[in-house]
Copies of this chain bind each other. A is one copy, B any other.
Amino acid sequence: MGKLTGFLIFSSLFTGLVVAADWNILKNQKNKNNGVGDGLKKYCESWRINVEVNNIRGFDVVPQECVQYIQKYMTSSQYKADSEKALEEVTFYLSSCCTLEGDGKDAWIFDVDDTLLSTIPYFKTHGFGGEKINATSLEAWMRESKAPALEHTLKLFHEIKNRGLKIFLISSRRENLRSSSVDNLIKVGYHGWTGLILRGLEDEFMEVQKYKSKARHRLVDEGYLIWGIIGDQWSSFEGLPIAKRTFKLPNSMYYN
Q: Which residues of A are at the interface with B, using a C-beta cutoff of 8 A?
A: 1, 4-5, 8-9, 11-12, 15-16, 18-19, 22-23, 25-26, 29, 42-43, 45-47, 49-50, 52-56, 77-78, 81-82, 84-86, 89, 246-248, 250
CA A68 to CA B82, docked complex, whole Å: 19
Q: How many copies does the complex hold?
A: 2
A49 lies within 8 A of B5 (CB): no
B247 lies within 8 A of A55 (CB): yes
CA A12 to CA B6, docked complex, whole Å: 12
Query: Which of B19, B42, B55, B85 meets A248, CB within 8 Å?
Result: B55
B22 lies within 8 A of A84 (CB): no
Query: Which of B12, B25, B29 meets A8, CB within 8 Å?
Result: B12
- In whole Å, how far is A130's beta carbon from the nearest beta carbon of chain B? 19
Neighbouring B residues of A46 by C-beta, 8 Å? 78, 81-82, 84-85
A82 lies within 8 A of B15 (CB): no
Determine the residue in chain B with the shortest Cβ distance to A76. Answer: B42
